Chains A and B, each alone.
Chain A
Amino acid sequence: MATQQTRSLARFMMAPSVVLLFVWMIVPLVITIWFSFQQYNPLNPIRDGFIGFSNYALFYSNPAFLQSIINTLVLVGSVLLITVIGGIALALLIDQPMWGQGIVRILVISPFFVMPPVAALVWKNMIMHPQYGVFADIARFFGGQPIDWFGQYPLTAIIIIVAWQWLPFATLILLTSLQSLDGEQKEAAEMDGASFVSRFIYLTLPHMSRAITVVILIQTIFLLSVYAEILVTTNGGPGYASTNLPFLVYQKALLEFKIGQASAGGVIAVILANIVAFFAMRAVGKNLDK
Chain B
Amino acid sequence: MARAVTTQHKTIATAAAWIVALLIFFPILYTVITSFKSEQEAIQGFNLFPSGTTESYSEVQAQSGYFKFFLNSVLLSVGSTILALLVAIPAAWSMAFSPTKRTKDILMWMLSTKMMPAVAVLFPIYLIFRDTGLLDSRIGLMIMLMLINLPIVVWMLYTYFREIPGEILEAARMDGASLWNEIVYVLTPMAVPGIASTMLLNIILAWNEAFWTIRLTTTEAAPLTAFISSFSSPQGLFWAKLSAASTLAIAPILIMGWFSQKQLVRGLTFGAVK
A residues 3-27 near B (Cβ < 8 Å) are 6-7, 9-11, 13-14, 16-18, 20-21, 24-25, 27
Least distance between B15 CB and chain A CB atoms (Å):
9
What residues of A have a CB within 8 angstroms of the CB of B107 in the complex?
A: 288
The answer to whether A46 has its CB under 8 Å from any CB of chain B is: no
The answer to whether A126 has its CB under 8 Å from any CB of chain B is: yes
Q: B24 contacts A168, CB within 8 Å? A: yes
Q: B208 contacts A113, CB within 8 Å? A: yes
The answer to whether A93 has its CB under 8 Å from any CB of chain B is: yes
What residues of A have a CB within 8 angstroms of the CB of B104 in the complex?
A: 285, 288
Most buried by A among B16, B126, B224, B264: B264
What residues of B have a CB within 8 angstroms of the CB of A147 in the complex?
A: none
| Contact bitstring B253-274, A, C-beta under 8 A = 1, else 0 | 1101110011011001111111
Report the separation of the CA atoms of residues A281 and B114 in the bound assembly, to the nearest whole angstrom: 11
What residues of A have a CB within 8 angstroms of the CB of B126 in the complex?
A: 253-254
| Contact bitstring A52-75, B, C-beta under 8 A = 1, else 0 | 000000000000000000000000
Q: A7 contacts B119, CB within 8 Å? A: no
What residues of B have a CB within 8 angstroms of the CB of A190 in the complex?
A: 3
What residues of A have a CB within 8 angstroms of the CB of B262 in the complex?
A: 176
Q: B229 contacts A231, CB within 8 Å? A: yes
What residues of A have a CB within 8 angstroms of the CB of B121 in the complex?
A: 28-29, 31-32, 266
| Contact bitstring A247-273, B, C-beta under 8 A = 1, else 0 | 001100110000100110011011011
Q: B254 contacts A110, CB within 8 Å? A: yes
What residues of A have a CB within 8 angstroms of the CB of B265 in the complex?
A: 172-173, 176
Return the chain B residue nearest A177 by Cβ: B273
**A-B Cβ contacts below 8 A, count:** 300
Q: A10 contacts B115, CB within 8 Å? A: no
The answer to whether B70 has its CB under 8 Å from any CB of chain A is: no
Known contacts A14-B95, A115-B228; is A287 also within 8 Å of B87 by CB? no
State the interface size on chain B (CB cutoff 8 A). Answer: 97
Q: A269 contacts B119, CB within 8 Å? A: yes
- The A interface is mostly helix, strand or loop, or mixed, namely helix
Report the separation of the CA atoms of residues A68 and B20 in the bound assembly, to the nearest whole angstrom: 33
Q: B122 contacts A122, CB within 8 Å? A: no
Among the 9-residue stretches A151-159, A198-206, A217-225, the one with 4 or more Cβ atoms under 8 Å from chain B is A217-225
Among the 9-residue stretches B57-65, B134-142, B187-195, B236-244, the one with 4 or more Cβ atoms under 8 Å from chain A is B236-244
Least distance between A111 CB and chain B CB atoms (Å):
6
What residues of B have a CB within 8 angstroms of the CB of A37 in the complex?
A: none
A residues 28-62 near B (Cβ < 8 Å) are 28-29, 31-32, 35
B residues 217-263 near A (Cβ < 8 Å) are 224-225, 228-229, 231-232, 237, 239, 242-243, 246, 249-250, 253-254, 256-258, 261-262
The answer to whether A100 has its CB under 8 Å from any CB of chain B is: yes
Q: A221 contacts B115, CB within 8 Å? A: yes
Report the separation of the CA atoms of residues A211 and B268 in the bound assembly, to the nearest whole angstrom: 12
Return the chain B residue nearest A31 by Cβ: B124
Least distance between A89 CB and chain B CB atoms (Å):
9
Q: A125 contacts B3, CB within 8 Å? A: no
Q: B21 contacts A104, CB within 8 Å? A: yes
The answer to whether B116 has its CB under 8 Å from any CB of chain A is: yes
The answer to whether A82 has its CB under 8 Å from any CB of chain B is: no
Residue positions of A touching B, CB distance < 8 A: 2, 6-7, 9-11, 13-14, 16-18, 20-21, 24-25, 27-29, 31-32, 35, 90, 93-94, 96-101, 103-119, 121-127, 132, 134, 137-138, 164, 167-169, 172-173, 176-177, 180, 187, 190, 210-211, 214, 218, 221, 224-225, 227-228, 231-233, 245-246, 249-250, 253-254, 259, 262-263, 266-267, 269-270, 272-274, 276-277, 280-281, 284-285, 287-288
Task: Given contact pairs A218-B268, A288-B107, enumerate 5 new A-B contacts (beta carbons under 8 Å).
Answer: A20-B87, A97-B10, A117-B210, A127-B30, A176-B262
11 contacts between A and B (CB under 8 A): A24-B113, A28-B125, A93-B20, A99-B14, A112-B264, A113-B204, A132-B43, A164-B27, A173-B273, A231-B232, A285-B108
Q: Which 5 A-B pairs have the closest CB atoms?
A: A266-B120, A28-B121, A13-B90, A113-B257, A31-B124
